Amino acid sequence: MKKLMLIMLSLLCTDVMAAWTELEGTPDAGVTVYADIGKIRNKGMSRVKMRHLLNFQNKEITGSGKTYLSRKELVEYNCDEEHYRVLAFSLHTGSMGSGKVVSFSSDTKQWQPVESITLEETLWKVACDKQNITQHD
């Protein structure tokens, strides 16, 4: 239960603590991707954790019919084996993680391979320090 609460707080409180950096060149149209690169955990190790935020231009719809404009995720990356897994996510009615939380999950997903020319590849490169990032103020 304590682990669940820490994950929830980590994910939901990122607006106050996060310094979101927009990632350029992401392959998905209609979404702007941000990463909290200043708070990458275990940077330089084979497994790292990073928070990112997806900000959608148009409303997205959950399977239960709820709409949202942004999604925050806490993801673990295996830098050596090029895999990732989502540890937790939340869906928000407002942009940049604002507004009401319409869905939340802290069910750790299975490891997935990082495929070429995908959003996951871009995020893996950032988390694993395989790509230079320019921070914009």
pLDDT tens-digit series, residues 33-65: 999 998 998 877 899 999 999 999 999 999 999
Return the closest-CA partner of residue 50 out of 85, 80, 100, 81. Answer: 85
CA dist list (Å): 15 to 47, 72, 78, 118, 127: 24, 10, 26, 25, 19
How far apart CA 40 and CA 77 sit, in angstroms, is 11
Q: What does the block give as tokens for 9?
A: 């707080």
Task: Out of 5-9, 47-51, 70-74, 97-101, pick the least confident.
Answer: 5-9
How far apart CA 103 and CA 91 sit, in angstroms, is 5
Q: Is the pTM of this model over 0.85?
A: no
Query: Which domains can be identified in the chain, with CATH numbers?
Result: 2-127 (2.40.128.710)
8 Å CB contact between 81 and 128? no
How far apart CA 54 and CA 91 sit, in angstroms, is 10
- pLDDT reading at 5 higher than 70: no
**Residue 12, pLDDT score:** 46
How far apart CA 95 and CA 136 sit, in angstroms, is 19
